[in-house]
Structure formats: structure tokens, C-alpha cells
Structure 1
Amino acid sequence: MKLSYVYILKCSDNTYYTGITSNLNQRILEHNIGKHPESYTYKRRPVKLEFYAEFTDIKIAIEKEKQIKKWSRKKKEALINGDYTELPNLSKKNFNK
């Protein structure tokens, strides 16, 4: 069974990057050595792994990555910190109330 990983990196400029990979350690190394000059993280190195989740179904992993990319910074930080009960309260529809 091949695993996929959705991950969140904290960049040197204090922003977050969300990605997906099948080899987490290799991908983080690639971000930090600047393997892809066109990538978001290239000019924001070094990066630090803040969160990851494993998936056995690549389709679900892709859906989760897309979902997290749309989240606010506060919601991503709640996920990183394990504050799962806060996630619904930080959704955009509740945030504007």
C-alpha cells in the first residue's frame, strides 16, 4: 500500500505552504535545497515541517490538500496545534459572524 502525505511547511518569511507527496522526507529536502526554482518555497527557505497527515487513497489526499490551501492562517495554525475542536469555529462562514 502506497501512502500519500499532505503537509504544511512554515517558511522563513513566516508564511505557510501546503503540499502533497508520496515521499515526505525527500520532498522536504527538495524544498530546502531549492530543487524547484519556480516553487513558492524557493525564495522562502529554509522551511520547517509543521504538520503532516498520511493517506492511503491519493484522491482523498488531493482533496484534503486543496481544502487546506483555502483555509485561513488561523485555521491552519489550529490544525498544526491539534486544536481540532476550533476548526469549525474558524471556517470562513463562521469567521464573519
Structure 2
Amino acid sequence: MLAVYVAGAYIMFALSLITGFLYVAYLVLLELNYLKEGCIHCCYYGKLCAFGKGAIAAMLFKEGDPEKFCERELGFKDFIPQVLVVLIPLIVGYLERR
């Protein structure tokens, strides 16, 4: 995921500083939301998981209920922010090349 973030930031900063900073701010908010909504309920909260986010979540947020981790229903609208991480730089890069 880091490679996608870096590539997206590179494309957005090539457009302008403002779009680059807005994109990076979007990434930070997206990751914080992910930590707050998902990682606090994970059984790896406070530990190193495959992504290292369990330990980071413990530094920023209080522990949630691990039972809620599997109860949460995900729909298409929950994936839209992640899709935009890739889609926005691709569209911007394509339009810039035209």
C-alpha cells in the first residue's frame, strides 16, 4: 500500500503543491479512520500485526471490543475511499498527459 501512496503523491505533487498536500492529507485521514474504526477492535490491538497498525492504533486510540471486529458489515460504500486512493492519481495523471 505504501508504494501506491508514494506513487499517488508523486503524481499529485507533479500537478501542484496544493493538490499534493490535499492528497497526502486525504491519505492521513483515511489511515486514521481505518485505525479508529477497525484496528481498535482487532485481536492484534497493541501488538505488531502484519501491517504494524495494531501497535500504532494503541498509541492513538483506546481499545475497542474484539467481538465487534467480525460483526461489522462492509458494503461497497466502505471501499470507495480506498478505491479513490488509486483512482484520483490515475485520472489526474491521464488528464495531465493529454
Pair in the same fold by TM > 0.5: no
Greater strand fraction, Structure 1 or Structure 2: 1
TM-score, normalization: structure 1? 0.29
Q: Which protein has the bigger helix share?
A: 2
- Name which one, 1 or 2, has greater alpha-carbon Rg: 2
If the length of structure 2 is used for normalisation, what is the TM-score? 0.28
